[in-house]
Structure formats: structure tokens, C-alpha cells
Amino acid sequence: MMPIRYLTIHCAATIEGRDHKAAEVTRWDVARFGQPSYHWVVELDGTAVRTLADATRGAHVGGHNTGNIGICYVGGLGRDAKPKDTRNALQRKSLREIVEAYQRKYPGLIVRGHRDWSPDLDRDGKIEPHEWVKACPCFDVATEL
């Protein structure tokens, strides 16, 4: 898993306001991928729950999990089940604190949203223009975190 070069933000693709817990998100991932996907899950009350050790590879970005910390917030869908930034103030604060802690721990860390990973990355990992395949995490990580 080392060295850590990336941190990727995700949403759980759950309906706005539904209080899913990290253990539930992890159960979904184990059922689908055979293991927890994320290193952290941020619940609606802002609680950040560690679900994988940093040295353990997650299952959150196909083909790009090695050296990549996955952080997921509960939410990401509006009440109409369409992609929406549903983060509340507590989740925003927790996400910011997690990102800042990792940036201190791993200088030069590249922070992205799930949607920023694409087959259109060039050899230096820079994003080439393309249509987003995913909406996750439903906000622009580059401008906000």
C-alpha cells in the first residue's frame, strides 16, 4: 500500500438525511467487493469512523487503490435519488480535518474526488478533459478541499 500518494473522497450514494452508519456502509462493501472499501467513513453527525488501516489497500477506485486513502461521507443523493452534495456542516468539518491531517502526514499528497479518476489520466496523473463517468462525491474536491 505504501507509499501513500493519493487521497480520494467519495459519497456513499445514500439518500440525503438517512442516518446510515459506517458499519452498514462497510457491510455493503464487503458484500460487493469482499472487503471494506474505504479507510474512513464520515457519518451524518460528523463522526469519522476508521474502517481500514492506512497500510491496507481499499477497494474504492478501480485500478488505483494502491497508495490511495479512501474517505467516504454518508449521503450523495438528494431526496429524488439524483446526485447532490448532501454534506452537512459537521461532515464538511470532519472531511476537512481528515484531509488536513493526511496532508501533514504525507507532504505532496494529491487529493481528488472519485469522479476525478478516469481512464483519461495522462502519465503524470493529470486529468485530461473528458465527460465525467461518475458524479461521486457530488462536489468539486479541487476547489473545496
Find the DSSP H helices in 10-121: 22-33, 89-105
Phi–psi pair at 133, nearest 5 degrees: -85, -30
Question: pTM for this one?
Answer: 0.89
Residue 104's nearest CA partner among 11, 2, 4 is 4
Q: How confident is the model at residue 1 (pLDDT cuts 50, 70, 90)?
A: low
**114-133 pLDDT tens trace:** 998 865 555 455 555 444 45
Which residues of 2-141 form beta strands (DSSP E)?
6-11, 14-15, 40-42, 48-50, 68-73, 76-77, 110-113
